[in-house]
Amino acid sequence: MALKENKGGRLYEQVAGHITRMIEARTYRPGERIPSVREMSAQKRVSVTTVLQAYGLLESQGLIEARPQSGYYVRSRFSSAVPVPDTSSLQGDPTKVSIHELTLMVMKDLFNPNLIPLGAATPNSHLLPADKLNRILAALARKKSLESIKYDIPPGYKPLRIQIAQKSLKANAVINPDEIITTAGCIEAIDLCLRAVCKSGDTVAIESPTYFGILQSMESMGLKALEIPTHPSEGIHIDTLMFAVEQTPVKACLVISNYNNPLGSCIPDEKKKHLVSLLAGLDIPLIEVDISGELHFSDTRPSVCKAYDKKGLVLLCSSFSKTLCPGYRVGWVAAGRYQPKIEWLKFTSSLATATLPQMALAEYLQSGGYESHMRKVRRVYACNISNMYEAVIRHFPEGTRVSRPAGGFVLWIQMPEAIDSLILYKLALQAGITLSPGYLFSATRRYKNYIRLNASRWTDEIQQGVIRLGKIAHTLVNAL
Ligand SMILES: Cc1ncc(COP(=O)(O)O)c(C=O)c1O
């Protein structure tokens, strides 16, 4: 339909109004691309300049964003009326970690394929390039059969380490492939780092909340956790960390720098630089986990702390588990000055990382296609996070607070005090739904009324699951 200037406003305002209505009606959802400038100009029979003005207006209103060489996308919309979850307070003394019983119990349910999967933080398997990866792997097994079944001793498969070093440039880190050691997933990388810098009884400063796998590693090593308040968007509270390390000797600090699991926080780059320099001044190693750093919803990938490391004190851990293939079990650590020690620890603990998956990943990364895969994944996750966010604020009891992640695919939800997340967990299980109770994410069991939900998928079934969870949460509040 052609538009004309009329009382309804200038042409560009009419075009902007049209798009706004489409976004409100959810014809275009958060994370989705809207028509290109040329398409819109042809559709509305207005000039390209008019559409550019309209899109400029929508951008200034925060409704859409331009992504270079890609087009215009609907931005994720979080409600300013719904607060983010509280930032935890500093605990007094370091705590011995003991969460394994609860984790083991919950883990079995989280991976039960018959339940609605809101619990485990696994990526959306429909988005993973499984066919391509497996084709490459099968072809390599045939073509390089002897090489692929040999040990590939630490530091690991060189062509893959080169690809990882190249990928790190996007996070502003210049890493020599020889500094990298491949591991069985990110969790082995974390485990090796903790073993390299700590011994049983030592204290590690960690974000609160943090991923339970980290707590389990610490528990198995007999380490104590000093939980530092962590803001839902800006990450670890640096002043409090510095105050805490003055009072309590810590052997290391460990952060999930980009899109913390479960909180979604991402330490701003300037703050990362400050953190690295303060810790370097105290000679405290920083173990950095960046497993979700590539799942950013905006155009630019956040940096890693490692980018600011001048003393080799940052040990950067990551893997392909959130982006490509959790089951291949390939991760890595860029270990700075701890490289020789970690290489030795890797050698003594598991001898080598599986060869064939490393070869397949190296070839996949060399073959191109990774970036377009990631562009798609980011768009879908941005969209799914928005959808789940909206469903939670619509269906959960009043007073519920929800994180607003700018990347990744999990939501951290603080419900009214009356709700015990473990009771909610058990009732949800009976209704065929899994979730992760807040207790898992702290050594001090402080997140009683919190849960983590996985938003990597958004289907009718998942939506019904969230609505059902909201109803159960209401019954728990009303029971009081
Ligand atoms: C922060 C964080 N670190 C490590 C892991 C484990 O990664 P991997 O499967 O590569 O061992 C996860 C998985 O959820 C995670 O969220």
SS3 294: coil
21: DSSP letter: H
Task: Provide the pLDDT confidence category of residue 32 given band limits of 50, 70 and 90.
Answer: confident
Confidence of residue 3 (pLDDT cuts 50, 70, 90): low
How far is Cα of residue 26 from the mean position of the Cα atoms in its chain?
25
Q: How far apart are CA 80 and CA 466, in angstroms?
A: 21
**Mean of the pLDDT values across residues 257-268?**
98
193 C-beta closer than 6 A to ligand 1: no
The yes-or-no verdict on residue 26 having pLDDT over 90 is no
Residue 321 near ligand 1, beta carbon < 6 Å: yes
Which among 317, 320, 307, 253 has a CA at the least distance from the CA of 285? 253
Give the largest CA-CA distance in the chain.
77
pLDDT at 81: 84
Tell whether ligand 1 has an atom less than 6 A from the beta carbon of residue 211: yes
Provide the pLDDT for residue 187.
98
121 Cα–ligand 1 center, Å: 8
Q: What is the mean pLDDT of residues 418-444?
A: 97
Q: What is the pLDDT of residue 8?
A: 59
Rounded distance, CA 320 to CA 332, Å? 9
pLDDT for residue 92 is more than 80? no
What residue ranges do the domains of the chain occupy? Answer: 11-74, 129-366
pLDDT (0 to 100) of residue 58: 92
Give the model's confidence band at 1: pLDDT under 50 very low, under 70 low, under 90 confident, else very high: low
261 lines ligand 1 (CB under 6 A): yes
The correct answer on CATH 1.10.10.10 for the domain covering 11-74 is yes
Q: How far apart are CA 364 and CA 303, in angstroms?
A: 24
CATH code for the structural domain at 129-366: 3.40.640.10
> Given ligand 1 and candidates 186, 260, 266, 350, which is best to mutate, with the most ligand atoms within 8 Å of its CB?
186
Give the mean model confidence (pLDDT) for residues 405-429: 97
What number of H helices and E strands is found in the chain? 16, 17
- Give CA separation, 90 vs 9, 202, 230, 317, 401, in Å: 54, 18, 10, 26, 21
3-state secondary structure of 349: helix
Q: 123 C-alpha to center of ligand 1: Å? A: 11
8 A C-beta contact, residue 99 and residue 443: yes
Pocket residue to mutate for ligand 1, from 304, 319, 324, 358, most atoms within 8 A of Cβ: 319
Q: Is the pLDDT of residue 30 over 90?
A: no
- pLDDT digit string (tens) for 358-407? 999 999 999 999 999 999 999 899 989 999 999 999 999 999 999 999 99
